[in-house]
Structure 1
Amino acid sequence: MTRDVRVAVFRPDDERMAEAVKLLDSLGATPVPDPMLAVEPTGAVPDGADDTPDPDIVVLTSKTGVELLADAGWSPGEATLVCIGPRTAAAARDAGWTVDIVPEEYTSSGLVETLADEVDGRRVEVARSDHGSDVLLDGLRDAGADVHETVLYRLVRPEGSGQSTVMAAGGELDAVCFTSSLTVANFLDAADERGVREEAVAGLNRAVVGVIGDPTRETAEGYGIRVDVVPENATFEELATEVVETAAPTYHE
């Protein structure tokens, strides 16, 4: 089988990228890994300071956040533990914690919908990256929660990233998988650095563009990028599978 469906993926350069490459390969596509995110831990944890009551509910929004908290020796204690999706929940269980709630929709709005009737008058700790959506904090506050946020890590663009932008500009990509609004913004910043932003956007609009959910779709479209695929469930496996199928129907085995 000739591999001519080139799919760029922008996950951090850790096991997530390795898994993405393996999945795309298994789908019969040629992966183009170009990490657009790197994790910089802040060292912060929900500290339970003497003047701050322990939270009633803790919300974790990523596997990375779980791992940083576990490495720091933190635990949710008696709080109700909420994880944004199955990957985050699995990491929490691996850390020895009991996961109480996982929303049906693995997004900030899904979390708000799931928790809206549970949080009035309760203290909610949200522990996540510096690029978390305001939808979560605002939605919980509107539902009556006393919300506190701890920034566990910053997401930055790795030095040297962006070769995929040149490929997009040259028409050498058949598809891309954006897994967050930040990967879209960092892709375009990398294209700016190389002086190919306009050409890269045009190249994306000739390819198949897949995004992980509606917030990422809105970001991409706001930059003039046409979105072709938004999977029903916000998982990379579903995103990649639909992108490859759209780029080359019945191509993969």
Structure 2
Amino acid sequence: MSKPTIAVLRPDDNRIAAAIDYLRSHEVSPVADPMLKVRPTGESPAVADYCVFTSQTGVEIAVDQDWHPGEATVCAVGQQTASTLRDSGVAVDIMPSTFTSAGLVDELATEVNGSTVEIARSAHGSDVLVRGLTAAGANVHETQLYRLNRPTAAGSSVTLATDGQLDAILFTSPRTVEHFCEIAAEQDGVPALQRGVAETVIGAIGMPTAQAIQERGITVDVIPDTVGFTQLADCTVEELATRH
């Protein structure tokens, strides 16, 4: 029996290599197709009472710029973001129990009135944090640390998906979904992609990613409880085993 074929769409850095190694340990055949290229903007987090990070990438860029929290209360959305901060020697003061921007707004809503809040993240974040914290009375500033561009070589997995040759696809962010479907539109069209993945297990990290997939007429089969890649891979492999 052949190994299940799973497309992994992580950024084109060490994360794609780690993802491939992890999937191989599950006895599956990974298809590496990086859908994101990180482009730092050169900006640095501003000084504020609260400093919010929403991704591992944002933390790594800030640390590379020799950023230090000073007296700021450091907030992290997601376990990987928090782990990267701690690994960099930065204490995490607040991490919402639900790993979403809305969860962080709920966590901070009663304490940020009159405070300054710095949101250090990509240029593609939703306005949930800004709107929610502003409504709570905070003076909110956003620094766009990086952009997520589409690699020029991306697209091999889209062709396989449209042809119905993938057993599963792992989507890790709304931007990944956007780039994947952009390529599909440039190739045979999104309706052809929808038909091609009708029997494919679709895994998504987080509700924003799942919603981006559903908005394009594709059913999401797996949404793990946390925002870590390993759990997404584990849950997807389990779903494949159940089906076969």
TM-score range, shorter chain: over 0.9
Change (3 A) 1:166 1:78: same
Shift of 1:246: 0.8
- Name which of 97, 103, 109 aligns with 2:96: 103
Q: Show the counterpart of 1:28.
A: 27
Q: Show the counterpart of 2:126.
A: 133
Shift of 1:200: 1.8
Distance 1:18 1:111 in 2: 31
The one-letter code of the counterpart of 1:29 is V
Deviation digits for residues 117-173 of structure 1, max 9, x if unmatched?
Answer: 221221100000011121121111122211100000001110010110110111110
Distance 1:132 1:81 in 2: 18
Name the TM-score, length of structure 1 as normaliser. Answer: 0.91
Distance 1:182 1:244 in 2: 23
| Residue 71 (1) aligns with residue 64 (2) | yes
Shift of 1:250: 9.0
- Name which of 145, 148, 155 aligns with 1:155: 148
| Residue 235 (1) aligns with residue 228 (2) | yes
SS of 1:164 mapped into structure 2:
helix
Distance 2:200 2:87 in 1: 39
SS of 2:242 mapped into structure 1:
coil
Q: Residues 1-253 of structure 1 correspond to what in structure 2 (within 5 A)?
A: 2-47=1-46, 54-249=47-242
Kept in 1, the 8 Å contact 2:79–2:228? The answer is no
| Runs ≥4 residues deviating over 6 A | none
Name the TM-score, length of structure 2 as normaliser. Answer: 0.95
Gaps of 5+ in 1: 48-53
Shift of 1:196: 4.3
Deviation digits for residues 46-98 of structure 1, max 9, x if unmatched?
Answer: 24xxxxxx411000111111111111111111100111122212221232222
SS of 2:146 mapped into structure 1:
strand
The one-letter code of the counterpart of 1:185 is E
SS of 2:44 mapped into structure 1:
coil
Distance 1:4 1:96 in 2: 41
Please provide the CA RMSD for this pair: 1.5
Kept in 2, the 8 Å contact 1:5–1:248? The answer is no
Deviation digits for residues 171-224 of structure 1, max 9, x if unmatched?
Answer: 110111111111111001111222343222222222111111111111111110
Distance 2:99 2:228 in 1: 8
Q: Show the counterpart of 1:51.
A: none
SS of 1:249 mapped into structure 2:
helix
Shift of 1:249: 2.4
Change (3 A) 1:193 1:160: farther
Deviation digits for residues 92-127 of structure 1, max 9, x if unmatched?
Answer: 123222211122122111211222222122110000
Count of residue pairs brought into register by the alignment: 244
Gaps of 5+ in 2: none
Shift of 1:12: 0.4
